[in-house]
A and B are shown apart, each in its own frame.
Chain A
Amino acid sequence: MALAIALVLLVVGSVLFHFLSPWWLTPIASNWTMIDDTIAITFWVTGFVFVTVNFFMAYVIVRYRHREDRTASYEPENKKLEWWLIGLTTVGVAAMLAPGLFVWAKIVDVPEDAAVVEVIGQQWHWSYRFPGDDGVLGTVHSRLVSDDNPFGMNPDDPAGQDDVLIASNELHLPLDQPVKLALRSKDVLHNFSVAQFRVKMDLVPGMVPYIWLTPTRTGRFDILCEELCGIAHYTMRGHVVVEPQETFDTWLHSYPTYAETLVSVPGNAAAGEAAYAVCATCHGAQGQGNAALNAPKLSGLDDWYMARQLKYFKTGVRGAHEDDTYGRQMAPMAMTLANDAAINNVVAYIATLPDKPAAKTIDQQVSQNGERLYRSCGACHGANGQGIQAMNAPRLAGMDDWYLATQLTNFKEGIRGAHAKDLYGPQMGLMASILAQDNAVNDMVSYLNTLENSQ
């Protein structure tokens, strides 16, 4: 009896939960409303079966519960009934399958006028490539990928010269324009998925799977990687911004073509020296850092990383948070660098400064905990904390420990890395949550101090 009641309550509860819960598909932002319709059909068919069969079972449990004077009926089988049930089930299945296959035929069939965009995945971030004016994506090869050619472009292919390279986690798409997303991975499997678009697909190294869709709603949507791709899988995120054609065009033009990236001039150290004079007041003439002034060591820091941070300070991506006391001091300083060329120059100058390991200020017994925690960090920053450009992860070993500690805390507390325009900061923010325990930051940094010794 109790069981029958429980079954009825569970069925009723499930149905109520379904209709009342606020948790449901996010509002759609692409043309694939048909997918939602198929889900709805499936829901009605399966929901009907769920309710009917279970109610019937509950009824049977009550009606035929054990009584001493009852004998069960004897009926080995009833072919007619069974065939009826099979027939009805077949109808139900067909009712779900037929629309499903119909919609799938559309998903498989890319319209002629779809623009092509390449989505490139790697551990653990996204970048994108637009075909440029000729509308053709140039050829690429994974063997060509390197720090100087992160997109693996074939330099000899004329079609590739005008390809627009978006070295950013953020993709923009024009509204109401069908687009085919060609999916390429540089390393392992990933999955490009935007909940609002409904369609998703794996990125498979060695092949180029695709999906297509028409964005139908402006907005900024999350891209999540939904194929387990290693330790930082859950941090592999990006954004897609759907906007009107004009805004989209401006955005696209703010990025360089492949040909343009080839001609960018390297920084001039001599020119940078003058600019560095400002920096030297805090960071020291040799870029050795100054703990008293909260200015970290710069010498030995990766140039690409410094260039990115300087731009962030300049544009308010970093050093704008009100709790970021020292970052706020840095931001106006970065303003003194007029343009990208100035930034590249000063970075080039810093690269000439002698790199002496920073003094250790955190005096703590090296704990096992730090080493254990560093397992995760090492996946990007390298087993020895040497930094890996391809992973966008700067060097940690031999840098100022007190500074690293502050930054880790900032990441953890969302003071750094939470800005919408910060490309890789959010990833670090998610990662820093492993340092939840009070002493974890110190454990970590004291472990980093030992790495420098082994270098």
Chain B
Amino acid sequence: MTVTLVFFATLMATIVWWLIRQTADVQPWVADGDARGLANTDHLHTSSIKVGLGVFLLVAASLFALFISAYMIRMEAGDWKMLDDPQILWANTAVLVIASLFFQRSYNAAQKQQFASMRNALLLAGVFTLVFLVGQLKAWQQLSAAGSYLSSNPANAFFYLFTAVHGLHLIGGLWVWGKAALSFGDAQSIRQRVELCTVYWHFLLVIWLILFTLLLNT
């Protein structure tokens, strides 16, 4: 549970720090005629949906942190056999990096209002994500072909579990991507979706890199 403890301590420290910063040095009982002046208007600069995504990423991060600490604890039992990770994972990782890069490109294009190149990059990003998912499935097939089933060893079980949960998160993201990629709706909402997806993909890339390092080394 150390991982979780450290993760949550940092997280809670950040939240507490932020909250205290918002609330210290305020004398709440003082009324103010010029309410506009007093209003904490900082928050008005980020759209709600982005804040929403940010909060959701925290939830997802907490989910993965807990999975990882379960992994580390379970690893200590005597029956752990290191998994022979399928080589294809390296290729998959590269593909996911590329997908993320395309999202970034799409994002940059969106910032510059270049909608055509935004859409192209977006489509490619999605295609690469799909390739990644197929690659993960291949990895599963290779593993089970080699006789490493879910129940044969906890290392395998965690492998399947992690890749599945990570993959499901990507699939969820693809839904929003799909809306952006297919939508002929107004440019602003597409642009917003591109921004959201980019952040989300970067996050899932980081998560994957952490998981991959962990799976490789243990």
> A residues bordering B, Cβ < 8 Å?
76, 206
**Sampled A-B contacts (4; CB under 8 Å):** A76-B27, A76-B28, A76-B29, A206-B77
List residues of chain B with CB within 8 A of the CB of A76.
27-29
- Nearest-CB residue, chain B, relative to A75: B29
Q: Is the interface of A mostly helix, strand, loop or mixed?
A: loop
List residues of chain B with CB within 8 A of the CB of A206.
77
Residues of chain B in range 1-60 having any CB-CB distance to chain A below 8 Å: 27-29
Cα distance A18–B167 when bound, in Å?
59
Residues 68-110 of chain B, each 1 if its beta carbon lies under 8 Å from chain A, else 0: 0000000001000000000000000000000000000000000
Nearest chain B CB to A255's CB is how many angstroms away? Answer: 32
Residues 194-217 of chain B, each 1 if its beta carbon lies under 8 Å from chain A, else 0: 000000000000000000000000
Closest A-B pairs by Cβ, 4 of them: A76-B29, A76-B28, A206-B77, A76-B27
Cα distance A206–B78 when bound, in Å?
11
Cα distance A77–B90 when bound, in Å?
61
- Nearest-CB residue, chain A, relative to B29: A76
Nearest chain B CB to A118's CB is how many angstroms away? Answer: 20
Chain B interface bracket (under 10, 10 to 19, 20 to 34, 35 or more): under 10
Nearest chain A CB to B197's CB is how many angstroms away? Answer: 44
Nearest chain A CB to B154's CB is how many angstroms away? Answer: 13
List residues of chain A with CB within 8 A of the CB of B28.
76
Cα distance A206–B28 when bound, in Å?
56
List residues of chain A with CB within 8 A of the CB of B27.
76
Cα distance A187–B173 when bound, in Å?
43
List residues of chain A with CB within 8 A of the CB of B77.
206
List residues of chain A with CB within 8 A of the CB of B29.
76
- Nearest-CB residue, chain B, relative to A76: B29
Cα distance A436–B25 when bound, in Å?
69
Nearest chain B CB to A209's CB is how many angstroms away? Answer: 16
Nearest chain B CB to A83's CB is how many angstroms away? Answer: 16
Cα distance A291–B77 when bound, in Å?
57
Cα distance A311–B27 when bound, in Å?
83
Nearest chain A CB to B25's CB is how many angstroms away? Answer: 14
Cα distance A206–B29 when bound, in Å?
58
Residues of chain B in range 131-187 having any CB-CB distance to chain A below 8 Å: none
Cα distance A206–B74 when bound, in Å?
12
Cα distance A76–B28 when bound, in Å?
9
Nearest chain A CB to B26's CB is how many angstroms away? Answer: 12
Cα distance A34–B27 when bound, in Å?
48
- Nearest-CB residue, chain B, relative to A207: B77
- Nearest-CB residue, chain B, relative to A206: B77
- Nearest-CB residue, chain A, relative to B78: A206
Cα distance A127–B28 when bound, in Å?
65
Nearest chain A CB to B80's CB is how many angstroms away? Answer: 14
- Nearest-CB residue, chain B, relative to A77: B29
Nearest chain A CB to B200's CB is how many angstroms away? Answer: 39
Cα distance A101–B29 when bound, in Å?
42
Cα distance A76–B31 when bound, in Å?
13
Nearest chain A CB to B107's CB is how many angstroms away? Answer: 47
- Nearest-CB residue, chain A, relative to B28: A76
- Nearest-CB residue, chain A, relative to B77: A206
Nearest chain A CB to B156's CB is how many angstroms away? Answer: 19
Cα distance A76–B29 when bound, in Å?
7
Cα distance A386–B23 when bound, in Å?
69
